[in-house]
């Protein structure tokens, strides 16, 4: 009902909105409306006046359900959502919810993470209020082998959403990086729970540096990390970006799970910064260098070595570096 009160307050009213009017419209008591207005104030909404006439004068830059779901055009993605001012890792919180039965499309968002994770035990830096640090629970009817494709498809969704909201031409570095002008602007961490060969659910974690300023990054990341704000030269509406991301992901997951990977992989190839590049693949067993020539139907990278052999590289335990050209 808090969202409904906010919706009422958002409508134009030259003399403000009396609590009794909102109450009558929503079938609440005026006292409940007063309580909900107080809650909205505590969350950061600027609401002037009192019960005789409330006026909404400012909205917080927070990814509250009231903001994200206001104008959301999806059926499943983000329809159920949990917002944390701070959390260890949204992937961990989403997994806890998934274990307890959270439905397909459940979204977990945090303003900041204290234990944000990358792949291979790496740390993900998540400055407060400045990025998208979020996870989606997805429950497709699929084999576990689809997991690497979920990451690739999610990257396509992120690039599409960035283009739609900012016009910036982000690219994808295999397997899970989103890049802007050669620097890392985001990353994806997909974690699957399996029952035999079937996927029980997957938690798709997405980190995007939206309004992060250079000094918010630790010094060691400043040369390699960037933000959409740095690329665009102005702040970006994070809630609008989440909505667009959810819309794109809903379409892309439907395409992947109902129609197969071919169409999405064609788009991935066009958005990839990796194909055609000289790469070094770093694995626990040693390094491999060659030219990245294509992506396989299961999401593996195909690398042509100097001897002309094509080697399949799966995302699992590897890192990828571009070789200087
Ligand atoms: C990734 O790992 O790129 C996946 C990142 C996924 C983060 C999201 S946020 C929401 C959800 N909850 C989580 O706990 N995680 C997900 P990887 O490819 O391993 O890259 C990690 C490396 O990127 C680090 O070792 C740093 O070098 C660098 N890095 C860390 N934070 C960064 C940031 N904010 N921007 C750019 N680079 C960063």
What's the confidence (pLDDT) of residue 104? Answer: 98
What's the confidence (pLDDT) of residue 28? Answer: 97
Which ligand 1 atom is at minimum distance from the Cα of 119? 19
Cα of 27 vs centre of ligand 1, distance in Å, is 46
User: In Å, what is the CA distance from 236 to each residue of 27, 167, 178, 241?
Assistant: 36, 11, 17, 8
What's the confidence (pLDDT) of residue 193? Answer: 97
Cα of 205 vs centre of ligand 1, distance in Å, is 10
Taking alpha carbons only, the member of 85, 78, 84, 43 closest to residue 243 is: 78
Ligand 1 pocket test target in 118, 176, 230 with most atoms within 8 Å of CB: 118
Is residue 221 lining ligand 1, measured as CB closer than 6 Å?
Answer: yes
Reported for 51-60, long-range contacts at CB under 8 A and 24+ positions apart, including other chains, are 51/18, 51/19, 51/20, 52/16, 52/18, 52/19, 53/13, 53/15, 53/16, 53/17, 53/18, 54/9, 54/16, 54/17, 54/18, 54/19, 54/22, 55/9, 55/13, 55/16, 55/17, 56/6, 56/9, 56/10
What's the confidence (pLDDT) of residue 176? Answer: 97
- Joined together, the tokens standing for residue 99 give 């274990």
Cα of 187 vs centre of ligand 1, distance in Å, is 5
First vs last C-alpha separation in the chain: 57
Q: Whose CA is nearest to atom 27 of ligand 1?
A: 221
Burial string for 201-220 (b: 16+ CB within 10 Å, else e) reads bbbbbbbbbbbbeeebbeee
Which parts of the chain sit beneath pLDDT 70? none
Is residue 116 lining ligand 1, measured as CB closer than 6 Å?
Answer: yes
């Amino acid at each position: 009902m808090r969202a409904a009160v906010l919706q009422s307050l958002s409508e134009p009213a030259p003399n403000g909105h009396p609590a009794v009017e909102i109450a009558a419209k929503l079938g609440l008591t005026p006292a409940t409306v007063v309580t909900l207005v107080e809650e909205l104030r505590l969350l950061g909404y600027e609401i002037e006046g009192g019960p005789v006439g409330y006026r909404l004068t400012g909205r917080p830059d927070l990814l509250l359900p009231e903001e994200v779901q206001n104008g959301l055009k999806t059926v499943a993605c983000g329809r159920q959502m949990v917002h944390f001012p701070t959390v260890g890792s949204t992937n961990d919180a989403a997994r806890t919810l998934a274990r307890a039965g959270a439905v397909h499309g459940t979204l977990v968002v945090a303003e900041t993470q204290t234990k944000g994770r990358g792949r291979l035990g790496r740390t993900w830096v998540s400055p407060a209020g400045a990025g998208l640090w979020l996870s989606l629970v997805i429950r497709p009817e699929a084999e576990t082998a689809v997991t690497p494709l979920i990451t690739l498809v999610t990257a396509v969704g992120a690039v599409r959403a960035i283009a739609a909201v900012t016009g910036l031409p982000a690219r994808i570095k295999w397997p899970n990086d989103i890049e802007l002008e050669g620097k890392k602007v985001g990353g994806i961490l997909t974690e699957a729970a399996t029952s035999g060969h079937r996927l029980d659910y997957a938690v798709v974690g997405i980190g995007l540096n939206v309004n992060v300023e250079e000094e918010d990054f630790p010094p060691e990341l400043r040369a390699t990390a960037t933000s959409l704000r740095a690329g665009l030269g102005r702040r970006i509406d994070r809630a609008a970006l989440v909505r667009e991301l959810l819309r794109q992901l809903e379409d892309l997951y439907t395409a992947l799970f109902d129609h197969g990977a071919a169409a999405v992989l064609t788009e991935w190839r066009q958005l990839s910064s990796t194909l055609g590049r000289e790469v070094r693949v770093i694995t626990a067993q040693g390094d491999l260098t060659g030219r990245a020539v294509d992506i396989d139907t299961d999401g593996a990278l195909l690398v042509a070595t100097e001897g002309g052999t094509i080697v399949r590289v799966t995302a699992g335990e590897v890192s990828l570096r571009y070789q200087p050209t």
